[in-house]
Amino acid sequence: MTITNLFKGLRRFVTVSMLIGLSACSAPRVAFDALPYWLQWEAKKTWDLDETQATLSREQINQWLEWARREQMRPTAQWLQGVRRQLREGPPTTPADVTRWRETITQWWFPLAQRITPDLITIAVTLKPAQVNKMRVRFEEGNERWRRDIHPASPKVRAARREERWIERTDWLFGEVTATQRELIRTHIQEIAVFDALVEAERMARQQRIIAGLEMLTSPSGNREVAEAAFTEMLEKIWRPSATRAEEANRLALANDVIAARLLASATPSQRAALDRRISGFIDDLNTLAARNSKSS
């Protein structure tokens, strides 16, 4: 895991993808309560923080999560309620519906980035060259694991691993996948194999942007104001594809929207009921988190 995992952890807790991505937890409340410890551990391990830096990061992480409780939980629950209503009462979900949901979720990153960037800069400017290099090493180690476990060199093995992950996620949302859904997933994985080089290139480019931003901030001869502006822009755009690959990345995103709509259309009544319960649980937990914050403030 690396700093990108830290960013992902923060982003996912204000998005539905967060709720799905932390499916190992029984409920978003449990995952959210565990998040401060995980983020603190991740930050300390990524940068090998000293005690002063670790204390500062712990205070800031707690403040970020309180902000998320106060500002993001209830609006997210309300949005999810609309999605749930559409799935229950509306016409069949189309790829355009999924695209709209995805774009809404993407927009939720920007207020979070604006909230956390000044605090991240406060920590980043205290980093020593060896700490920045530690993160570079962790990126390399993470990439080795990623290529071994998720993106192996063999196209056949890579497709099999990807199919397994898709089925696990669909199982978690719907219940046991049907033979039809397995075939839909298998076909989709074959079709998106052409984007494998894009996925790896974007992963590497994102890591390079993070390292470059930190090196600017920690350079003793650099312009602090320019470095902070560049770091802020980098963080706000961290999930956007590089300009030269934006069109290709959009095609991949749209292909994923299509398969999501097809899986929803193929859901059996029992699967739809299971999905409805899952979303209802998300809504209840988000509202509980928001209410907890209101009572404590």
pLDDT over 70 (residue 8)? no
**Measured in Å, how far apart are the chain's first and last C-alpha atoms?**
33
Q: Is the pLDDT of residue 295 over 60?
A: no
pLDDT in tens, 86-131: 999 989 999 999 999 999 988 888 888 889 899 999 999 999 999 9
Of the pLDDT bands very low, low, confident and very high (cuts 50, 70, 90), residue 222 is: confident
What pLDDT is attached to residue 296? 47
**Tens digits of residue pLDDT in 254-283:** 999 999 999 999 999 999 999 999 999 989
More confident residue, 192 or 29: 192
